[in-house]
A and B are shown apart, each in its own frame.
Chain A
C-alpha cells in the first residue's frame, strides 16, 4: 500500500493560515519552507483554509500528482478536523491513517504572542510529525454492531422530549427518573415565558404520552448505577429504589392517602418546596406520571414503629398494591446510546446571607413564587405572604447566585425572563407594585424583548443596581428594605417591600460529579457537563454514544432545552439506526512470538480485554479501547498500539527535540 521508495516516504506537509488565526502569530510561509527542507518531504504548502473544499482538494490532487504516501496538516486541533483530513487523504487513494494532524492553532498561535517563538514551536511540532509519519501503517476501522435501544436519563422536559422523539421513531427507550414522577422543574412552573402559556397544559400531554408509549419503559425512583461497555453496546445497570407500592397494581385512586392515619401531612411537600405539608403516602402532584402513590419511609409510622393500623392496606383491599417489604432492586439493560438529561438545581440563596433568605419569612425564591401563583399550588394560586396578607409591594432581586464571582460566574440565562414573567403574574394577581433590581436585562431570543417591553409597560419598576443588603424596616412593619445603588440615577435606593423574590440561578446538580463518572463524561465550567464541541458538537460528549440534553449541559430555557433534546435524540438515532459503528483503530495488540506470557498486562486492563491464549497474552480488539496502559507496562515490549506505536512516539520526541 505504501509507496515507500528506499524507505524514504513521500510526505506532503500543509500549513494552514486559518485566515489570520494562525498566520497572524506563526510565520506560516517560513514554516512551510522549513518543512520543505526536511528529509522525506515531497510537497510543503500553505493554504488559507485547509479545511475548506479547495484545501481538501489540494491534498487529494497532490497525493495523485506527487505519489504522496504520507500527509501532514498543521492547523487547528485534531479534535476538530482530524476526521476531515483523514477523509481527504483517503480521497487521494491512500490509507487515511497515513495522515497526521498537528495543532498549531490551539497549541500555538492562539496561546502565544511572539511570532518568533510561535514560529519556532510550529516548526518543532511539524518536524515531530514528519519524524512520526514514516512509521505510520495502514489501518482499518473495525465495524461493531449497535444495539438499537436507547436510554434516556432524566425525566424533565429534556428527557421526555428526547424519549418521545426516539420512541416515535420506533426505537426502544428506557427512561430513567430518580423522582417518583417525571416532569422535572417544568412541572412546577405556572406559566412559561414569553408566551405565558400554562406549563402544565403543554407538559402534561407529553408526560402522559411517555407513560403510555409502547416503546418506552419508564422507570421512576430509579438511578443509573453503572455503565459498562462502549458505544453501540452499553450495559447499563439501573437501581430501583423501593416505592413500597406495586406500580402495576396501583390505579392511582389515592384512597390510601385519604385514609392514612396521619390526618394532616407533617412532611414538607417537596413539589411545593415545603410551602405545605404532605402525608407519608402521597402522590407528588396531581398530574404525576406514573399516577402511582409513593410511601415515604422516613415519615411512615409502619416503618418507624411497625405498629401502624395500616388503614392504607385496608382500603387498597384486593388491589393489594402496598408492599412494605420492597427493597432496592437492579436491572441491567443493553442500549446502543444514552441521552443524559439530568437537569439542574436552583441556587440555594442561603449561600448569600445578605439577602436574608431563611431569616426573614417574606423572602422567597422564585421557585416558591412559581408554586404560589399556580392554581394547583399550596395557596391555590393566591399570592399571599406567610402571615396570610397579600403583598402590596414586591421586590424581585435578579442574579442571585449568577454573574457573581463569589457564587457562580455564569449567567443563568433564564432568570431575567422568568423574573419578568413572575412580575407580570404577581402584579396580575395582587396589583402590587413590583420592583425589579437588575444588573442587565438579558432578553435575547424570539419574543423576549417584546415581552420585556410589555411588562415594562404594565408599570413594573426597573432599578438598575445590585441589591447589597436586605434588612427589616424600622417599626415592626413586617416589611424588609431592599438597598441597592441605582447605577442609572447614581444614588442609593432603599425600597421597603412586603415580599422579596430572589431570582435564583441554575447550577449543576449536586451529584453531577458522580453522574459524570458513571457515564465517563466531563464537567466543564460550573460543573455542567461538557459538550464535545461548543459549536459543532453541542450535544455530543467525548464518550461516543453518550449525548447531552437540557440544563445538565448548561442553563437554558424550555424552547432551547426541547430543541437540544431533539438534537440529542437525532444524534442517538443516527447512531443506533445506522446499525453499526466504526471503531477508531487505536487498539493495542500483542506480538505473540515476543510475548513471554508473564501475565503482567492482564490485570491492568479495565475492560478485561486481555486474556491468556496458549500461554501468551491476547488482546480482544473489540473490547480494547486503546488507552495503551498495557503497552507502557509490558516489561518485554511485546505489546504495541496502533496509532501510538512506541516508534511513533519516540520519533515525536526526537522530532520536537531535534533542535534542542
Chain B
C-alpha cells in the first residue's frame, strides 16, 4: 500500500475535495486562475475528464467512499458544452444523485455541480473557497467507513445484566 504523505496541516483536519473538471471550461478556468496567480484553498484534487457528461455517479460515490469530504463537478454553462449537451446529462444525473445522497444523509454542500466557463477563474476560486469553508464547517464526511461499525452497540450490551425479565 502507498505510504501516506505528511498530513496537509499539522493542527488537525482539512477537508479533501475531489473535483472532476471538464477539459474545455472548468479545467481551463483552473488554468486561468493559475496564470492569473489567483489564490484559493488548497483542498481540491482535480481529476480531468473531457466533459462533465463523463462523470459517472459511481465516481462520486467512489470518492466519498474513499474518504473525500466533498465532490465538486465543474462543467460548461448550459448551452456552452463543447460536446453540445454533455453538461445537460451531467445536470440530470446530478439532480437524481442529489436525491439519493440526501436519502443517505449526505449534506447538500458536500456534492456540488457548478458551471464554470474557461473565463471564470474568479468563479472557480470563489466556488472552491466557499465549498471548502462549508465542508470545513460540516466536518469530516467519514463515508469511507470500513466495516468496523457493523457491530456498534453490541459490545456494551453484552456486558449488561438485565434482571427479572421472563423469557
Q: Are A116 and B28 in contact (CB under 8 A)?
A: no
**Nearest B-chain residue to A125, judged by Cβ:** B45
**Nearest A-chain residue to B37, judged by Cβ:** A110
Cross-interface CB contact of A660 among B68, B84, B85, B118, cutoff 8 Å: B68
Residues of A within 8 A of B46 (CB): 103, 107, 125
Give Cα distance in the complex from A110 to B10, angstroms.
22
Q: Are B118 and A530 in contact (CB under 8 A)?
A: yes
**Nearest A-chain residue to B80, judged by Cβ:** A517
Cross-interface CB contact of A657 among B37, B63, B93, cutoff 8 Å: B63
Main secondary structure of the interface of B (DSSP, over half): loop
Residues of A within 8 A of B2 (CB): 38-39, 127, 655, 658-659
Which of A106, A113, A604, A632 has most B Cβ within 10 Å? A632
Which of B48, B51, B82, B118 has most A Cβ within 10 Å? B48
Q: Are B54 and A111 in contact (CB under 8 A)?
A: no
Residue A552 at the chain B interface, CB threshold 8 Å: no
Q: Are B30 and A37 in contact (CB under 8 A)?
A: no
The 0/1 profile, CB within 8 Å of A marked 1, for residues 18-45 of chain B is 1000001101101101110111101001
Cross-interface CB contact of B118 among A517, A524, A649, cutoff 8 Å: A524
Q: Are A522 and B25 in contact (CB under 8 A)?
A: yes
The 0/1 profile, CB within 8 Å of B marked 1, for residues 199-235 of chain A is 0000000000000000000000000000000000000
Q: Are A628 and B53 in contact (CB under 8 A)?
A: yes
Q: Are B63 and A627 in contact (CB under 8 A)?
A: no
Residue B74 at the chain A interface, CB threshold 8 Å: no
Give Cα distance in the complex from A226 to B89, angstroms.
22
Which of B9, B35, B39 has most A Cβ within 10 Å? B35
Give Cα distance in the complex from A543 to B69, angstroms.
35
With known contacts A106-B33, A586-B50, A644-B50, A111–B38 Cβ distance under 8 A: yes
Residues of B within 8 A of A627 (CB): 50-51, 53-54, 82-83, 86
Q: Are B34 and A106 in contact (CB under 8 A)?
A: yes
The 0/1 profile, CB within 8 Å of B marked 1, for residues 488-524 of chain A is 0000000000000000000000000000110010111
Q: Are A112 and B39 in contact (CB under 8 A)?
A: yes
A contact residues, total (Cβ < 8 Å): 63
Residue B106 at the chain A interface, CB threshold 8 Å: no
Which of B24, B47, B89 has most A Cβ within 10 Å? B47
**Nearest A-chain residue to B85, judged by Cβ:** A606
**Least Cβ–Cβ distance between B40 and chain A, in angstroms:** 6
Give Cα distance in the complex from A626 to B7, angstroms.
36
Which of A112, A525, A652 has most B Cβ within 10 Å? A652
Residues of A within 8 A of B154 (CB): none
**Least Cβ–Cβ distance between B24 and chain A, in angstroms:** 6
Q: Are A105 and B55 in contact (CB under 8 A)?
A: no
Residues of B within 8 A of A650 (CB): 59, 62
**Nearest A-chain residue to B92, judged by Cβ:** A633
With known contacts A111-B37, A628-B54, A653–B28 Cβ distance under 8 A: no
Q: Are A629 and B53 in contact (CB under 8 A)?
A: yes
Residues of B within 8 A of A579 (CB): none
Residues of A within 8 A of B82 (CB): 520, 542-543, 627
**Least Cβ–Cβ distance between A209 and chain B, in angstroms:** 36
Q: Are B119 and A106 in contact (CB under 8 A)?
A: no
Which of A128, A543, A660 has most B Cβ within 10 Å? A660
**Least Cβ–Cβ distance between A224 and chain B, in angstroms:** 16
Q: Are B49 and A644 in contact (CB under 8 A)?
A: yes
With known contacts A112-B39, A627-B54, A657-B68, A120–B6 Cβ distance under 8 A: yes
Q: Are B49 and A542 in contact (CB under 8 A)?
A: no
Give Cα distance in the complex from A624 to B91, angstroms.
21
Q: Are B49 and A106 in contact (CB under 8 A)?
A: no
Q: Are B42 and A628 in contact (CB under 8 A)?
A: no
**Least Cβ–Cβ distance between A600 and chain B, in angstroms:** 11
Residues of A within 8 A of B40 (CB): 111-112
Residue B96 at the chain A interface, CB threshold 8 Å: no
Q: Are A649 and B49 in contact (CB under 8 A)?
A: yes
Residues of B within 8 A of A37 (CB): 3
**Least Cβ–Cβ distance between A433 and chain B, in angstroms:** 43
Residues of B within 8 A of A632 (CB): 53-57, 89, 93
**Least Cβ–Cβ distance between A462 and chain B, in angstroms:** 33
Cross-interface CB contact of B4 among A629, A633, A653, A659, cutoff 8 Å: A659
**Least Cβ–Cβ distance between B115 and chain A, in angstroms:** 13
Q: Are A123 and B50 in contact (CB under 8 A)?
A: no
Residue A56 at the chain B interface, CB threshold 8 Å: no
Give Cα distance in the complex from A659 to B86, angstroms.
32
Residues of B within 8 A of A522 (CB): 24-25, 28, 80, 117-119
Q: Are B62 and A653 in contact (CB under 8 A)?
A: yes
With known contacts A522-B25, A627-B83, A631-B56, A107–B34 Cβ distance under 8 A: yes
Residue B167 at the chain A interface, CB threshold 8 Å: no
**Least Cβ–Cβ distance between B120 and chain A, in angstroms:** 10
Residues of B within 8 A of A631 (CB): 54, 56
Q: Are B47 and A542 in contact (CB under 8 A)?
A: no
Q: Are A112 and B42 in contact (CB under 8 A)?
A: yes
Give Cα distance in the complex from A517 to B42, angstroms.
33
**Least Cβ–Cβ distance between A105 and chain B, in angstroms:** 6
Residues of B within 8 A of A112 (CB): 39-40, 42
Residue A571 at the chain B interface, CB threshold 8 Å: no
Q: Are A649 and B31 in contact (CB under 8 A)?
A: no
Residues of A within 8 A of B110 (CB): none
**Least Cβ–Cβ distance between A130 and chain B, in angstroms:** 8
Residue B95 at the chain A interface, CB threshold 8 Å: no
Chain A, range 614-660, C-beta contacts under 8 Å to B: 625-629, 631-633, 641, 644, 646, 649-650, 652-660
Residues of B within 8 A of A530 (CB): 118-119
Residues of A within 8 A of B4 (CB): 658-659
Q: Are A107 and B30 in contact (CB under 8 A)?
A: yes
Residues of B within 8 A of A604 (CB): 89
Chain A, range 95-141, C-beta contacts under 8 Å to B: 103, 105-108, 110-114, 116-118, 120-121, 123-125, 127-128
Residues of A within 8 A of B5 (CB): 34, 120, 123-124, 127, 659
Residues of B within 8 A of A646 (CB): 56, 58
With known contacts A542-B24, A606-B83, A116–B67 Cβ distance under 8 A: no
**Nearest A-chain residue to B76, judged by Cβ:** A522
Residue B139 at the chain A interface, CB threshold 8 Å: no
**Least Cβ–Cβ distance between A649 and chain B, in angstroms:** 6
Q: Are A111 and B34 in contact (CB under 8 A)?
A: yes
Cross-interface CB contact of A525 among B38, B93, B119, B144, cutoff 8 Å: B119
Cross-interface CB contact of A606 among B6, B33, B84, cutoff 8 Å: B84
Q: Are B119 and A656 in contact (CB under 8 A)?
A: no
Residue B99 at the chain A interface, CB threshold 8 Å: no
Give Cα distance in the complex from A110 to B42, angstroms.
11
Cross-interface CB contact of B59 among A113, A586, A641, A649, cutoff 8 Å: A649
13 A-B pairs whose Cβ atoms sit less than 8 Å apart in the complex: A38-B3, A111-B42, A123-B5, A125-B46, A522-B24, A522-B117, A524-B118, A606-B85, A606-B86, A627-B86, A649-B56, A654-B62, A656-B18
Q: B residues within 8 Å of A by Cβ?
A: 1-10, 16, 18, 24-25, 27-28, 30-31, 33-35, 37-40, 42, 45-51, 53-59, 62-63, 66-69, 79-80, 82-86, 89, 93, 117-119, 125, 144
Instruction: Give the top 4 A-B pairs by smallest Cβ distance, nearest first.
Output: A106-B34, A628-B54, A660-B67, A629-B53
Seed contacts A110-B35, A522-B28, A543-B82; 6 additional CB < 8 Å A-B pairs:
A107-B30, A111-B30, A586-B50, A625-B83, A627-B83, A632-B56
